[in-house]
A and B are shown apart, each in its own frame.
Chain A
Amino acid sequence: MSVNILAGEVGVVAATALRELAARAVGVLPVAEYADGAPLPWSVVGDGGWDLVGVPGDGAASLRDLVEIAQTWGEFCVPLPLLPTILAKRWSAAARERTGPVTVSVAAPGRPPGRFLAPYLGEPEVVLALGLGAGEDRVAPPAVAARDGFAPTLRLAETDLRSAFSAEAAREQAVVWAAEAVGCARRTLRDSVGYARDRHQFDRPIGSFQAVKHRLARAHEQVELAESALLWAVAAPADTARPVRFAVDSSIGVLQTAIQVHGGMGFTWEMGIHFFLRHVLTLRELVRGVGL
């Protein structure tokens, strides 16, 4: 059994269950139909206790397990603060006392001074964890200074409150966000392959043309290497930033390819690839904000 490469039982079980929940809620829907809505109520994941999967103790998920969960979750781009809640409840006792969702805020390079970024802040029931292994361990009610509507599936808000992270909590948060990005990339690659199989031009599926096929092959290479970068990030506490950045940047590359492969549909709002792209571009901001 290879400890650092294969996910443990907790990770596999949780990822499988969450895949089923998300697939039941949004499986056949185009992302454009649910990006602005609430396709999955919090109670569905909360009642199952999936937000507590990382809480320290016997049978807690390892970081590798969280990567498995985040990659799976990322494939659906569901607007629900599951991943920040898992991290907050892993690192904060005050967050664990809440039954509902909890988010975190990180630095916001390039924004007004004193402003911090928090995904899903201002969404129903969401509170902000202020101490993740560092600082004062308490939660704060949502204090939204401004909304950032760029990524509808991440519901980003600016706030004046900053979550304090221990070095390890920050590292884990960055790895989990990177894993979510890789999940987005894997999903859009799969959609792009499906589109290239169905879409015909010159009486042939466009995926049979090498110009298109090789682009998708390169996207597959990027997804594979991005996933390997996550394994590296998990295993190398002193060297996490490089693989995390690689994973996120590669995922953005895959999203760009997906738009190109979808041709004239690729840059339409309704096709919806842009929701994944906006999601991953925003994850990159969050990863930078948490210090990696």
Chain B
Amino acid sequence: MASQQMAEPHAGPALRRAVEGSTAQWFGLAVRIALVVVWGWAGLAKISDPAEAAQAVRAYEILPESLVKPIGYGLPFLELALALLLLIGLGVRIVAVISALLLFTFVAGIGSAWARGISIDCGCFGGGGAVDASKTEYLQEILRDCGFLLLVSWLVFRPHTRLSADAWLAA
């Protein structure tokens, strides 16, 4: 018991300060802002033309026609809601978990399109639909989403960030 208590502070302080201290909370704020930009941009780009958003969903050839429009119309607003929540910092951990689930879904969808050999643009930031086989960018799209997943996972494990509604409510 005693030796354990001795061991922890030895391994700890520098690392602990790095992941939990105020620097980390400022970093968490930066991560939140980055994700606000990602979700905000992704959402706004899909709003101007509902038919285009629906076609981007349809092009994956995964969902039945009856779900194409609800998803195509609703997804951009889900993304904007996540951006808003991250901006004010409300429920950072749960929002990060939802973001991660959404990103996993996107990666799975893109991977599925790739595996089935259909040629589409992911429609991640607007656009979407069938493209020429030479213009598919599945690997880049998946890597990009994985980068976003790294950001999101920081917030899942370190949800305490500066200038957040969470911190204000806890005080």
Note whether A and B form a binding pair: no
**Which residues on A are within 8 Å of B, measured CB to CB?**
none
